[in-house]
Structure 1
Amino acid sequence: MPQEDQQDLRMKSDAIVQHLNAALPIIRKVCEISGVPAASIGVIHQGQSIYVENIGHRNVEAQLSPTSDTLYGLGSLTKGFVAASLAQLLHNHPTVTWTTPLQNIWPEYRPQQPQLKGNVSLLDFLSHRTGLSGDMSVALQGDMEFILPPSEVAPIVSRLDVAAPFRQLWLYNNWGYSVAGKVMEKLSGKPAHEYIRESILMPLGLSNTTLRPVFDEHIDFADAYAALEDASTQCLPREFPFLESLFETAGGMYSTVNDMLKYCQALLRSRIDPQSTPLGNLEMLFQGHIPLDRSMESFGSYGMGWIETHLPSVLGLQGDNAELFQWDELPYINDPRDPSKSLLTFYHQGASLGYYSAIYLFPETESGFVVLTNSMPLSDAADWIAQIIAAALHGFETSADYVELANEARRRKVGNVAAMMAEIEKTREEHPGDLPRPLDAYCGDYYNALGNFHVRIKQHKVKAGVLELAFQGKATQEYELRHLHGDIFEWALTHDEQARRARFTTWEQSYFLVKFLPNGTSNIVALEWGSNQEKLTSSNIQNRIADHSSKEL
């Protein structure tokens, strides 16, 4: 690079660093409001690392500070790695493409939805345009425990509920990346974590990035936390819940800021000079395949593991904050010096059990950054921080008050749960004197149609007149089940009860309602539960059906 260009780059980089340092008090306050103990940030510009910052504590109890080599969970940033790894694999299997019908690649997949048979592809699953529900209730409940084994991916995905027309709406669905892991194993003949390591991590020198972390008390590791209503934090168990789970390739990657900056540099180089990096065949990852919102296509489109958009725009549309605000309430980031200027932008967000994150790339300026945090927060601090950095990096402006946005997100999240709890109590008060059947009438095991998931209902071990439900019959998955009215019970949890059990915050009342269903003789034979009102059948009925079927055979 000529000396004059080097000097110009230094001046621009110095200006960016000044902007970022000036924003640090706001970033710290956003973390404090959101209940985020630590945040690690790294920025590259013109292909060079220009800024790293680590704030807070990776271990609150021991008051240990994070570094740029602190290991964090990446959550859904994993998806970009998985898609890139699949791209290398498909390059070596020219008879298989992104649009090859999935059934031709992975015969274990047998879709029950007519519109998908012989049509749905890897591209459809990885761009979240299948129209299938992404509900994970049968696989993940509380306490960082996946309750279905990886062997159940094919049966579950084959029977997911249809929530929208095929290829018409963007519906985020983690199951698609579980499918990606299975296809990777099928085509490579290796475990997915091993193929990703060999095809992406090792060639890029990402020695601290892995799907299979091993905990060592001396490792530079960010403990995972969940934020309580008052923004204090609950430390979560030192476990790696995604390890060997059915969602490992959807959200199980761990990495550091230093490694993620190398990753950003490699991705940017792959667009400028594909021969200069081990990464290839990535064009389809960064091409928008489905708009996030068809009514407002300027919000961007989803590729595979990446959202494609252009600044000026609204950002962070994949994360929690976008669920708490109307999208037109979110900050609009623009360049007041040149309102017509359009800057190509790629980003993705991550939300995991104890970790939230964000990654951004700007190919035109060879810029990018990563934000890693270690909490299930009251507001998505990683998103707010990312928006602050995106504006500072390019001298853009926004009228947003990010401290107030974090406060408002916190108020809304906590308030939504409180409103749900109040509504349930109001319903109970509207049915005074309404008594259930004898509680034994409800007890038993209730199974889904596949028979691979069940809810056990039993009398509470301590409280009289109260039931208990246990997902998969596990003692680790027990919740108090209280009578509401008629044959309907509820197991609603306050915000902090959800947080202490490492649950993603839910305020949808129907999710916490269990409706027992009698037959013609008034015996309870099934129940309906969850947002999709899935019907689970009593094991007694299941056994009778199985016996009848075997006699017919």
Structure 2
Amino acid sequence: MKKYYLILLLCVLQLHFTATAQNANRSRFITDSLDNYINRSLTNWRVPGAAVCIVKDGRIILRKGYGIKELGLATKVDENTLFMIGSNTKAFTATAMAMLQTQNKLSLDDKVTKYLPDFKLENKAATDMVTLRDLLCHRIGFGTFQGDFTYWTSNLTRKDVVERMSHIKAMYPFRSRWGYTNAAFLTAGEVMEKVTGKPWENYIKETLLAPLGMTSTLTLSKDLATSFNKSAAHTLVDGRLAAIPYPQIDNLAPAGSMSSSANDMCKWVLALLANGKVGAKDVMPAAALRATQQPQMLVGGEPDGTFSAYGLGWFLQGYKGHRIIMHTGGVNGFVSSVTLVPDQNLGIVILTNTDQNNLIETLNFDVIDAYLKLPFRNNSDAALTVVKGNQQRDLAREKALRDSTALNLRPALDLNNYTGKYSNDLYGSITIAKGEANDLEVRFEHHPKMYARLQSLGGNRFYATFSDPVFGRAVFPFLVQNNRVVSVQVKVANFIEFGAYDFKRK
């Protein structure tokens, strides 16, 4: 199939037909070859199902489901199957905030404390300066994902999450560096409720989803399980694909709780590319869209001189001389991407039902390359080689740790010395007790359904396996002074948060 794909694409790029013939060839590539390409990619990337939407020049070129909704079941994905879209929720939040600015109900440069007087960051000077714009472009000084372990799928309320931001010691000086901050978008959603008198989820439905005709789209994660046409969530556990429960992240809803379909997301990208119009009706003011799509903070640069920046709810980057507006979204069991190439009037949506694949990026750029008449680069195979190598190294590392636990290495102290209650100013408390055999078990105050099993690696180090596979596995080292356990360092998967937490023993 790869050779077939290459031959067709080279025909589009190299044969000097008339413009009409060139467009026809490209159309055949998208409508014919792409099906084979996607189906093979699902197999290679171990993705049970996907939904893809491509729009060009105001027309829907492709709107289709591929594969199955759940591993082991024969139910096929279609264009109306719901997938969680994760952080692609952020563009809806930012757009709604920018629309409020065009209505003179707020300014994006208003201080957050104007609407939330109790809002605080650990740095008082930053508290006094932080604006709505700062929240929406990730420049409040936090590191990427900093604090997310405390919030992610926890029992904390939205109000709790906003309050906990004051317990985080920012990794960078205020506005000096970009750091992806989910809690900041939640805070923006709380401001939205103060301004409109309506919860974020209701306001998004009324001002965006209903006018756009996105009737199947859900704003809250709690509603997905009871929906009829939905995809299951999947992740890799010990190298094997498995279905997992839907994440409950409505305490961070404005940052990532929405679910949608290829059909509904087509309507979203069509309107974005049409400067907010649906037919003759202005659903989203063009000024609001421009506000979200202007660079606010540099994310990074490439050796070829292209840039990567963040607007409000959108990544902005250069690609082969073209401006790309895009975002990806990852939550437990799902990843997605939404991409706009404005000068080509091109929009691409890719929804998948596993959280460990790069198909959303490789397919995305293969489609873009086709429309830009660029040579085929085999993005999928190149990325797959890298990812498989990383996965093999991770599996080898985990196997070495499991092999160490199988040796029944004795800890430095009796297990009873490690038990008890530990606390962290940001997270709260954990409780460690003796488990089965010679293991310890950790229970988490704000994740009451989750636990971690600790197996001795010898000395004061233990191998932690979380009951929720998305939180991963890690080594928990205990700090011991004068034969007394003082603290333990807790680490979760980088998918949740990069940094570790120190819990002090009470």
Shorter-normalised TM range:
0.7 to 0.9
Give the deviation of 1:228 after TM superposition: 4.4
Match of 1:476 in 2: 449
Q: Where do residues 263-342 of structure 1 align in structure 2 (5 Å cutoff)?
A: 263-270=268-275, 276-280=281-285, 281-293=288-300, 298-312=306-320, 342=321
Q: Which amino acid aligns with 2:387?
A: A
Aligned-residue CA RMSD (Å): 3.0
**Does 1:418 find its partner at 2:427?**
no
Size of the aligned set, in residue pairs, is 476
> Cα distance 1:514–1:34, how it changes in 2: closer, same or farther (>3 A)?
same
Match of 1:159 in 2: 167
**Does 1:15 find its partner at 2:25?**
yes
Q: Could you tell me how far apart the structure 2 residues matched to 1:477 and 1:195 are?
A: 33
- 1:376 is paired with a residue of what secondary structure? coil
Q: Could you tell me how far apart the structure 2 residues matched to 1:57 and 1:514 are?
A: 42
Match of 2:11 in 1: none
Structure 2 residue aligned with 1:87, among 98, 105, 121? 98
Q: Which stretch of structure 1 is more off in the superposition, 168-177 or 358-367?
A: 168-177
- 2:449 is paired with a residue of what secondary structure? helix
- 1:117 is paired with a residue of what secondary structure? helix
CA contact (8 A) 1:41 1:370 kept: yes
CA contact (8 A) 1:36 1:227 kept: no
Match of 1:366 in 2: 345
Q: Which amino acid aligns with 1:168?
A: S
- 2:129 is paired with a residue of what secondary structure? coil
Match of 1:322 in 2: none
Structure 1 residue aligned with 2:62, among 9, 33, 51? 51
> Cα distance 1:360–1:533, how it changes in 2: closer, same or farther (>3 A)?
closer
Give the deviation of 1:76 after TM superposition: 0.8
- 1:148 is paired with a residue of what secondary structure? coil
CA contact (8 A) 1:29 1:403 kept: no
Q: Could you tell me how far apart the structure 2 residues matched to 1:504 and 1:25 are?
A: 34
Give the deviation of 1:218 after TM superposition: 7.6
**Does 1:111 find its partner at 2:121?**
yes
CA contact (8 A) 1:74 1:253 kept: yes
CA contact (8 A) 1:13 1:50 kept: no
> Cα distance 1:414–1:304, how it changes in 2: closer, same or farther (>3 A)?
farther
Give the deviation of 1:206 after TM superposition: 1.0
Give the deviation of 1:272 after TM superposition: 8.5
**Does 1:458 find its partner at 2:423?**
no
Give the deviation of 1:424 after TM superposition: 8.7
Match of 1:550 in 2: none
Q: Could you tell me how far apart the structure 1 residues matched to 2:224 and 2:324 are?
A: 35
Give the deviation of 1:417 after TM superposition: 4.6
Structure 2 residue aligned with 1:205, among 213, 224, 241? 213
Aligned identity (percent) is 21
- 2:351 is paired with a residue of what secondary structure? strand
> Cα distance 1:270–1:505, how it changes in 2: closer, same or farther (>3 A)?
farther
**Does 1:120 find its partner at 2:130?**
yes
- 1:524 is paired with a residue of what secondary structure? strand
Match of 1:224 in 2: 233
Q: Where do residues 517-528 of structure 1 align in structure 2 (5 Å cutoff)?
A: 517-518=480-481, 522-528=483-489
Q: Could you tell me how far apart the structure 1 residues matched to 2:312 and 2:227 are?
A: 36
**Does 1:139 find its partner at 2:185?**
no
CA contact (8 A) 2:64 2:262 kept: no
> Cα distance 1:372–1:473, how it changes in 2: closer, same or farther (>3 A)?
closer
Give the deviation of 1:381 after TM superposition: 1.6
Q: Could you tell me how far apart the structure 1 residues matched to 2:122 and 2:361 are?
A: 37
Structure 1 residue ranges (4+ consecutive) displaced by more than 4 angstroms after TM superposition:
8-13, 215-218, 271-276, 294-297, 423-429
Structure richer in strand, relative to its length: 2
What TM-score results when the alignment is normalised by the length of structure 1?
A: 0.78
Write the deviation string for residues 72-107 of structure 1: whole angstroms up to 9, x where unpaired: 11111111111111112233344x322222222222
- 1:86 is paired with a residue of what secondary structure? helix
Give the deviation of 1:301 after TM superposition: 0.8
Structure 1 residue aligned with 2:261, among 249, 256, 260? 256
CA contact (8 A) 2:412 2:460 kept: yes
CA contact (8 A) 2:247 2:331 kept: no
Q: Which amino acid aligns with 1:277?
A: D
Write the deviation string for residues 285-337 of structure 1: whole angstroms up to 9, x where unpaired: 1011112215756132111111112221xxxxxxxxxxxxxxxxxxxxxxxxx
Q: Where do residues 23-62 of structure 1 align in structure 2 (5 Å cutoff)?
A: 23-62=34-73
- 1:308 is paired with a residue of what secondary structure? strand
Give the deviation of 1:49 after TM superposition: 0.8
Q: Could you tell me how far apart the structure 1 residues matched to 2:446 and 2:97 are?
A: 37
CA contact (8 A) 2:409 2:456 kept: no
> Cα distance 1:399–1:218, how it changes in 2: closer, same or farther (>3 A)?
closer
Match of 2:7 in 1: none
**Does 1:443 find its partner at 2:404?**
no
Q: Which runs of 5+ in 2 are unaligned?
A: 1-17, 492-497
CA contact (8 A) 1:170 1:293 kept: no
CA contact (8 A) 2:96 2:207 kept: yes
- 2:275 is paired with a residue of what secondary structure? helix
Q: Could you tell me how far apart the structure 2 residues matched to 1:126 and 1:81 are?
A: 11
Q: Could you tell me how far apart the structure 2 residues matched to 1:263 and 1:382 are?
A: 18
CA contact (8 A) 2:422 2:431 kept: yes
- 2:214 is paired with a residue of what secondary structure? coil
